[in-house]
Amino acid sequence: MTDHHGHVLIVDGDNDIVQIVAAVLTDAGFMVSLLLTAEPYAVRTAVGQLEPDCVLLDGESPSAYVYSWDDAVWLAGRDRPIPVIMSTVDQPAMREAREATSKRSQTAHFAAVLGKPFDLDQLVDTVAGAVGHAVPFDISTAAEAQRTARLRAKLEAAGAHEIHVSTRREWANFLTAAGTFIQLYWWHQDGVYYVVRHAESGGRLDQVGRFHDLDGRSPSRYAPGGGRSSGRRAKRCR
């Protein structure tokens, strides 16, 4: 079998299918990680932690694609887009994705659509094609500097000032337009941005949110709480 390369995240709640797919892709040479839930927060957290080269994405419901449409759109719209392969038994969803006439199917920009059950050779070839279109995640110092520069630009565009950024990945202190002091940092282990602010009473820091991206979010409007993890993490096979 041809030795392929690249990191594939399999998102599927059916453990039996996941184990078969993982074995086939691992034998083909891919690095494979598994996530046994398609719950949106878990998917986005796993992507932030792993930065895979392709996501094989099933729906949260065994027979419907549901919120996975939103995840596919999010994956396509990231600063580093990740190719997504729709993997489902949902016939209307597959037809919609293939026809690509609806707004969500166009913005999801699926790399491919695989209906279950699928031929294993087709699976390997489809994943190889999707991975081939991915831009590998760059961990170099220069790339970290570029990500930090993009973070500063987003904060400035949203009205932040007195911005101080770190040499580490996407850490920053800044003031909102209302004068609130905010600390924002990316924690790779959790795959999210943590946002804390100094309490008006002074001294104490309050965590006000956890976010998977900052697009469209004003620094002055961070909502308390943020998303909450399902408790499931992606498992890496090799």
The list of the chain residues with pLDDT below 50 reads: 1, 216-231
CA distance 164 to 155: 11
For residue 58, give the nearest of 49, 67, 50 by alpha carbon: 67
Q: What is the CA radius of gyration of the chain?
A: 19
59 vs 39, 116, 137, 172, CA distance in Å?
9, 12, 25, 35
For residue 172, give the nearest of 150, 188, 191, 190 by alpha carbon: 150
Q: Give the CA-trace dihedral at 50, 56, 74, 77, to 10 degrees.
A: 90
pLDDT of res. 219: 46
pLDDT of res. 93: 94
pLDDT of res. 238: 52
**52-88 residue pLDDT tens:** 999 999 988 777 898 899 999 999 999 899 999 999 9
Tokens of 67: 């919120």
